[in-house]
Amino acid sequence: MSSLPSQLLVLWLIAQPQAATLKYAGAPAPPLNSPFAGVVILKADRGASGDVQSITALAGAAPFLEASISAVKQWKFAPVQGQEKPAPVSVTMFYRARQIFSSTSATQFPEWPAAETRPPLPHVIVEPSYPVNSVAEGVVILELRISADGGIERIETVRQVPSLMEIARKAVEGWKFTPASINGQASSGTAIVAISFLRPVIY
């Protein structure tokens, strides 16, 4: 790449989708009395300054949807240089119910419809169990870089709960994604995953 003339190199760099770095991510408030798990998938459009300009709900229902949108509205990403309109990111929020073991092995979504521009979207979600050696509750938030073929290239921690982090990351490593689309072409992109853990109640 260093053999490119400097002007062409600058144009090439501008054309590349840039990773969104989530700088501030307040946790959603989980519905404390719901006996069921919940999944919400959102598309978040960012401004160049890093603010969230619009949110589109792709999956999810009350009471989880409202809590998710309310949290994401306050998130802040790193400013993006050299792009008129930064690529959108997906946000998947998984709310565990108050049980120790996961209720299902995986949740599968239908194939996402084609779109000119979209972020990477999950199509298989693996639910983490609650770690038996933990008494914590809270929300783990991870930032994933998804390749143009849908593979997970990188997982970074945005918000951690120490005794819940390892099991959250291990579950997310088993997720499957439909890659992002930029101008109708498969592309790498960013997916944010938030997993809400509630301390199990033993009856």
pLDDT given at position 6:
44
CA angle, corner 163, sides to 133 and 153, nearest 5? 125
115 and 181 in contact (C-beta within 8 Å)? yes
pLDDT given at position 29:
92
pLDDT in tens, 127-152: 998 988 888 999 999 999 999 999 99
pLDDT band at residue 20 under the 50/70/90 scheme: low
**How is residue 147 written in tokens?**
């390749």
Q: Where are the domains of the chain?
A: 18-197
Helix-strand-coil split of the chain, %, nearest 5: 15, 35, 50
Pairing of strands 89-95, 107-108: unpaired
- Higher-pLDDT residue of 118, 85: 118
Fold of 18-197: TolA/TonB C-terminal domain (3.30.2420)
pLDDT given at position 103:
61
Closest CA to 193 of 120, 97, 94: 94
95 and 31 in contact (C-beta within 8 Å)? yes
pTM > 0.95:
no
